Amino acid sequence: MNMRTAVITGANAGLGLECARALLADDPSWHLVLAVRDVTRGAEAVAKIGYPARCTVLQLDLASLLSVRSFAETLRAAALPPLHAIVCNAGLQVVSDTEYTADGFETTFGVNHLGHFALVDALLDDLVRPARIVVVSSGTHDPAKHTGMPSPNYTTAERLAYPDESGSPDGRRRYTTSKLCNVLFAYELDRRLGEGERGITVNAFDPGLMPGSGLARDYSPIGRLVWRYVFPLLRVLPNVNSTRSSGARLAALAADARYDGITGAYFEGKRQIRSSRDSYDREKALDLWETSAQLLMTSI
């Protein structure tokens, strides 16, 4: 049997874990690289989902560009099956304060966008066609959806990397703005890859609201209780999902034949829909791309 490798960031818990579980169960041709900050937790995740012979756990800290480069080098040296998919899944919310990455960038932007930008940049030449890149975003990037989260505020990528500290930090807005960055990045990457002509498809994915996931770990104690015990009662509403169901949909987008050739698209679960108005702003996408590339260069 021909084997293929997929890299999934943040695969030790939540959406990433369920994506890995579904991909392994649905298609025996896949070998998965669980790209995680804590390799012990990564090993525990493998024990939960099974298939240890088809899993490799590698350390990746998206808050460190040095770690991203080291991950890419380790992956190449690991003698795994050819790389055919990258799932940019890991993400966080920092709501209590302003934090910074090892390279001095605001952490929400640095992890949710820039770390994945660096990862794809490092691995792009290693992808064997046909290949897929899936970038996990969120419906919160779109103000028209009225998610209860503050609307994104994209001014320039430089200001996102180095925010003005004169006022109180708005961590929830930084999160929604980072999710807009995810879509801008996916669309710009797709354009630069010839919109599928080079054999690589790029799509963005909204998993919906997933109560019980680890995204609220920086919330207040009351906020965490509501997230864990009250929000699960909302699953009867549209686009409120379990991590298991959203993980299966993410795995399908990364591997299922029914998505062959589809690129430059945004998916809300199984449905291909239009993303926010700002996500199609090419000036913002170009600013994000060029600034991100410059930030990678200055960190070397």
HSE-CB for 30 with a 13 A CA cutoff: 25
CA distance 159 to 202: 26
* Mode of pairing for the β-strands spanning 30-36 and 127-136: unpaired
CA distances, 88 to each of 116, 145, 250 (Å) = 6, 23, 11
Residues ≥6 apart with Cβ < 8 Å to 164? none
Q: How distant is the alpha carbon of residue 253 from its chain centre?
A: 13
The one catalytic residue in 100, 162, 175, 229 is 175
The three-class DSSP label of residue 249 is: helix
Is residue 136 within 8 A of residue 182, CB to CB? The reply is yes
* Buried/exposed code over 212-227 (b: 16+ C-beta within 10 A; e: otherwise): ebbbbebbeeeeeeeb
Q: Is 100 a catalytic residue?
A: no
- What is the number of other CB atoms lying within 10 angstroms of the CB of residue 40? 10
Active-site residue list: 175
